[in-house]
Amino acid sequence: MSEIDKRNRLGEEPFSYQATKKGTVLISYKGKQIMVVKEKDAERILGRLQAVEGNTIEEQLILAKITGNFKHGNERDGKLKKR
């Protein structure tokens, strides 16, 4: 078992990406767009993804690391909280 993905979340392939003609990369999590990467960062990401093409777990890991720590589990509480 990998130490990085102990709960096998990346095996479900939650991340996806789309490269546009303008040179940007759109990253989605479970079908929802969460990030837009532009210019040199997009080129670097596409290069890394092409290097591991065919290995879905590695692709998912790259996309997860790019997005960073965006989901903490408390998003719903903040929306429901009245001010």
Query: Which structure tokens are listed for 67?
Result: 């997005």
Is there a domain that residue 1 lies in? no
**What is the model's pLDDT at position 78?**
55
Is there a domain that residue 59 lies in? yes
**What is the model's pLDDT at position 11?**
85
**What is the model's pLDDT at position 75?**
59
Is there a domain that residue 74 lies in? no
Is there a domain that residue 31 lies in? yes
**What is the model's pLDDT at position 1?**
44
Tell me how many domains the chain contains.
1
Query: Which structure tokens are listed for 78?
Result: 């903040």
Is there a domain that residue 48 lies in? yes
Which residues in the chain show pLDDT less than 70? 1-2, 70-83
Is there a domain that residue 79 lies in? no
**What is the model's pLDDT at position 30?**
92
Q: What domain range includes position 29?
A: 10-67
List C-alpha distances in Å: 4 to 10, 36, 61: 10, 25, 9
**What is the model's pLDDT at position 43?**
96
Q: The pTM is what?
A: 0.76
